[in-house]
Amino acid sequence: MNSLHVRFDELNNDAGLRSSWHPKPMDGLWALLLTGGAAVLLLLFSKSFGYWQYLILGCWYVALLISGLYWRPLQIMTYVVLAFSMVAVWLYSIGQTPDNNWLMRYVLQGDAAAMWMSGFLLLATIGYEIYLFTCKSSVAAASTALTWLGVVMGFTALGVRWRETYIGHPSWGHIPVGNLWEVMLLFCASTSLFYLFYESRYKAKALGAFVMPLVGVAALFFLWITFAQHMDKIEPLIPALQSFWMKLHVPMMFIAYANFTIASLVGFAYILDGVSQKRGGGLALILPGKQVMDDIMYSAITFGFLLFTISTILGAAWAAQAWGGFWSWDPKETWSLIVWLNYAGYLHARTVKGWRGTNMAWWSFLSLWVVSFCFLGVNLFLSGLHSYGKL
Amino acid sequence: MQKKMAEFIVILTSMRFAVSLLVLLAIASVIGTVLPQAQPYTDYAHQFGPFWFATFNSLGIYDVYGAPWFLTILGILVLSTAFCLIRNIPTKIMGMINIWRDYVSDGGKHNGYRTSLSLGSATAVLASWMTAAGYAPRVRTTNTSASLVSVRGRFYGAGYILTHAAIVIFCLGAMYNANLPQKWQLWNGSIVPETNFSEPISDVPQVSRLPLNNAAYRGNVTLPAGDSTANAFVPSGNGYLVQPLPFVIHLHKFRISYYSNGMPKDFVSDIYIENHHGEVLKRAFVRVNHPLLYRGVDIFQASFSNGGTLLHLDSHSFSNPGATPKHVEAQIGDTLTVHDKYQVKIKSFSLRNVIPAKAAGVTASHSSPYVDLGPSMTYVVSSPSGQEAEFKTFVSPIARSGQNYFLQGVRTKGSPSYQYLLIPVGPDGGINFFMAYLTQLRNVTANGTKLTMQVATTIFKKQISTSYPSIMSDYRQQAKLFQSVMNAMTQLQAYPVPFVMTVDGYKHKWAAGIEVTKWPGTIFLYIGSVLLVLGIMISFYMPQRRIMVKLSAAGEGTDVAITGHSSRGGSNVPEVIDALYERIKTESEGEHNE
């Protein structure tokens, strides 16, 4: 009798993956600190707030609160990133700069923190590959830790740079999502963060060997545009970009890109898993299993699709303000429509037709090229209204 | 006929067809991102040659997103979505209202079970187990039967309705904004775009004019400061259409503000909206990202250009430095003949030249590492032998280590950067001192005197005393000036033309590029957007999971049939069904054993 009751309780969780949520003391602290933070922002800046700023603050507050409660490591990460960024901001405020303070020069200034991020993420990539071949759980743990360090330094870099855009020329200040350097930084940090989320949710460390190489390549590209192209130079925003819409449109887009990227690389793992099973290779043993990978793909694509849709709509509303048209068939717009249609097709095939398995994994994997072209290719190869990230 | 129609609708609403259309549309969209759209037709003709130009033109490749075939695909997709919606709305709504309805089960292989438990106790235990599994049921009983239904995500069906309705509403709004009747008129020839861009607006024929009360439009107009317009131009194919506006737009002023590094910070058109009698109805500052909405018409700051800047130029001859400079007035784009046979085309005029102080060779001020070298004019000179060079003349002199210079950049065709000629300026801030000195030297050498350093210095001193007396006693300044004059003369050896243009004065005038749109369908776009996002959220995050138990009394015992249904894979519905069957079997056996 008793044993069966346990089984029913287990059934209550979807395949045991979504554990039921119980509050912990740290959640109270989280809610308290977020509310306090929002209150401080309101006290300091509400004089210069229009109603859109209230809306944006509200969105960030709700999104952070819920995400932190849903996935607690995010709370710790936020504390650490905030602490680092605030130390840097404080050091700047007392006249310490990269020129006269070694901590600023080598660690905390935006550029330096971004370099640390690249280093950690590249090391994590190598770590995950070693794990794939050695199956040592200590290596996996180290890789996860390195990824966390990379994520913390990445978001610290963004936070500090936000402050740095104001230093010396207050009218230049802007959220650091205005040029290719800044968005690549955001891409590396947010893709790694979302990867960590899926890894911890599904206890699937071997997927790092598939997801992180792309982050590693992005980090290398990021280093290249830093050292060869000097794109880390802070520049002010052109008039078209001076809009509150940017604070919503761009970060949301990058959360979507991050999720699409993860989905497609998990798709790649899924395909190799199938090959490995056929040939009796060892890969299938270390990968988390087809059902889990299928779940991750679906979760990532649905979440990405939701944000991509909202973000594209926000982009269209912004375009209506800035360029006088919701949709101008600018290459970036057209390619984002292509991405949207592609995933709409995928979701229809999956939910209505019930398609699963290797074919869908291929679809998800190949979508990476469409997404990457939309994100980078359009800026590198085509010209149009969105030409902010030219090399 | 009806059968065919029905078959057609089946195909139209099939998932395979819809997914194929989505993919086809995605692929077709690529074309317009690879080939730049809406360029002048001559560019395409040049690029493709006459045959391919005509072929591509008939395919509508130059405006893919307005091409009939592209719009047809889009139309079929919307039609397919609409039909799907109409066909599925009743079942989806019924599913939300009536939770007792039967579904096709995806619970698997069970055929039902006859338990020895009575109807009442079977109902009670099943209800409690369902609750334990997280599927608390609603119960309906009669004397001989009972139904237990648990639905999580009851309103899942709304997700389908909202997303698909959103697409339809969206497309209706966009179609309204695109003004389809007008597209039809263009296609059948009752409206013809005007292709002569230099024609005055009064001469544009009636057939190229749109009605004042046109339902929707997107036009633009270039308005020089101080001018007014009551019309906008709607680009169409190879030409344009004239759209009369319900008011007059008067551009009072156009202003650009800059960041310290010279990048533009803000473009502002200070405009007056007037009625046709010149009465001001509204004044507004239209900026990028901050359009003005006036009587259903949106007015945007889109671009800016030269609005008829007037330049007062002097051409100084090096071959005859003593001659009075020729004075001429010119506008940007004008071509002048200078020095008998040189063609000078005025290319552009910019008000600011902000460069890093280091590059300018001056020490940076404390506030900014950049300096503004002031206005400059660029012009292209074609020599009689057909050689071309580009020149950049700075209006104000540039200070460098205590001496002021007239700055003139030169670059020959194909060279990426300018070489600079620095001519020291005299007390009047111009190059007259230098020219006068050149003249004196020329006069002396014309007499047969050999030009030595001593001769040059003597003439220089004489020149100082006559035309620059203020530095007569400042020998350091004199030495600096002399050195600069000598350097300039050396630089002149490599100077490609025998004259130089200076800007004596200018009257700058901007023109603002104003965009005017009337889009009453926009509200539908916003409604569609909200519905779409809501629908996606419901579809993804409120999945439906449904378990239904039907019991009917059969003699002493009860027949149990458990069915289930979930809207997405990965749910635990099949496991719950299995477990419920297993429990009721164990329970019945237990009762027998007792």
Residue A19 contacts by C-beta under 8 Å, 6 or more apart in sequence?
A: A13
B349/B312 Cα distance (integer angstroms): 12
Residue A336 contacts by C-beta under 8 Å, 6 or more apart in sequence?
A: A308, A312, A315, A374
Give the HSE-up count for residue B4: Cα atoms under 13 Å, Cβ half-sphere: 1
Distance between first and last Cα of chain B: 69
Best A293, A311, A326 residue to mutate vs chain B (most B CBs within 10 Å): A326
Scanning B209-268 for CB atoms below 8 A from A yields 218, 259-261, 263-267
pLDDT band at A16 (very low <50, low <70, confident <90, very high): very low
Residue B214 contacts by C-beta under 8 Å, 6 or more apart in sequence?
A: B179, B182, B243, B518
- Output the pLDDT for position A13: 46
Cβ contact A322–B22 (<8 Å): no
Best B30, B33, B292 residue to mutate vs chain A (most A CBs within 10 Å): B33
Average pLDDT, chain B: 87
Contact A155/A81 with Cβ under 8 angstroms? yes
- Output the pLDDT for position B594: 47
Q: Tell me the one-letter amino acid at A87.
A: V
Cβ contact B26–A354 (<8 Å): no
Closest approach of chain B CAs to the CA of A89, in angstroms?
22
- Output the pLDDT for position A116: 97
Which residue, among A102, A99, A208, has the nearest Cα to A150 in the 3D structure?
A208
- Output the pLDDT for position B354: 87
B454/B462 Cα distance (integer angstroms): 12
Question: Given CB atoms, is A167 within the 8 Å cutoff of chain B?
Answer: no
Closest approach of chain B CAs to the CA of A369, in angstroms?
14
- Output the pLDDT for position B278: 87
Instruction: Please write down the HEC assignment for all residues of B454-476.
Output: HHHHHHHHHHHHHHCHHHCCCHH
pLDDT band at A14 (very low <50, low <70, confident <90, very high): very low
Token pair of B493 as six digits: 């050896």
B489/B482 Cα distance (integer angstroms): 11
Question: Given CB atoms, is B190 within the 8 Å cutoff of chain A?
Answer: no
pLDDT band at B570 (very low <50, low <70, confident <90, very high): low
Helix (H, G, I), strand (E, B) or coil at A101: coil
Q: Which residues pair with B393 in a beta bridge?
A: B377, B408
CB pairs under 8 A between A and B: 145
Share of chain B above pLDDT 70, in %: 96
Asked whether the predicted pLDDT for residue A1 surpasses 50, the reply is no
Residues B453-475, mean pLDDT to the nearest whole number: 88
Contact B182/B191 with Cβ under 8 angstroms? yes
Cβ contact B264–A341 (<8 Å): no
Question: Given CB atoms, is A335 within the 8 Å cutoff of chain B?
Answer: yes
pLDDT in tens, A216-256: 999 999 999 999 988 899 989 988 888 888 888 999 999 99
Residues B535-547, mean pLDDT to the nearest whole number: 90
**Nearest chain A Cα to B256, which residue?**
A239
**Nearest chain A Cα to B64, which residue?**
A329
Which of chain B's residues have a Cβ under 8 Å away from the Cβ of A8? 129, 132-133, 579
Question: Given CB atoms, is B70 within the 8 Å cutoff of chain A?
Answer: no
Scanning B278-317 for CB atoms below 8 A from A yields 287-291, 298, 300, 302
Q: Which residues pair with B548 in a beta bridge?
A: B149, B563
Asked whether the predicted pLDDT for residue A386 surpasses 90, the reply is no
Cβ contact B133–A313 (<8 Å): no
- Output the pLDDT for position A388: 58
Contact B219/B229 with Cβ under 8 angstroms? no
- Output the pLDDT for position A361: 95
**Nearest chain A Cα to B217, which residue?**
A325
pLDDT band at B227 (very low <50, low <70, confident <90, very high): very high
Which of chain A's residues have a Cβ under 8 Å away from the Cβ of B29? 334-335, 337-338, 341
ipTM value for the complex: 0.90
pLDDT in tens, A89-140: 999 999 998 999 999 999 999 999 999 999 999 999 999 999 999 989 999 9
B283/B154 Cα distance (integer angstroms): 54
A343/A367 Cα distance (integer angstroms): 8
Contact B269/B251 with Cβ under 8 angstroms? yes
pLDDT in tens, B272-316: 999 999 899 999 999 999 999 999 999 999 889 888 899 999 999
Contact B148/B126 with Cβ under 8 angstroms? yes
Closest approach of chain A CAs to the CA of B36, in angstroms?
9
Token pair of B129 as six digits: 């187990």
Q: Which residue has the higher pLDDT, B537 or A2?
A: B537
Question: Given CB atoms, is A1 within the 8 Å cutoff of chain B?
Answer: no
Which of chain B's residues have a Cβ under 8 Å away from the Cβ of A342? 22-23, 26
Asked whether the predicted pLDDT for residue B364 surpasses 70, the reply is no
Which residue, among B288, B316, B235, has the nearest Cα to B66 in the 3D structure?
B235
Cβ contact A331–B33 (<8 Å): yes
Task: Name, of A84-88, B133-137, B478-482, the range with top average pLDDT.
Answer: A84-88
CA angle B354, B357, B358 (to 5 degrees): 130
Residues B89-95, mean pLDDT to the nearest whole number: 88
Token pair of B188 as six digits: 């059948």
pLDDT in tens, B380-409: 999 888 888 999 999 999 888 888 999 999
A290/A296 Cα distance (integer angstroms): 10
Question: Given CB atoms, is A331 within the 8 Å cutoff of chain B?
Answer: yes
B390/B378 Cα distance (integer angstroms): 7
Which of chain A's residues have a Cβ under 8 Å away from the Cβ of B291? 321, 324
Count of Cβ atoms closer than 10 Å to residue A106 Cβ: 13
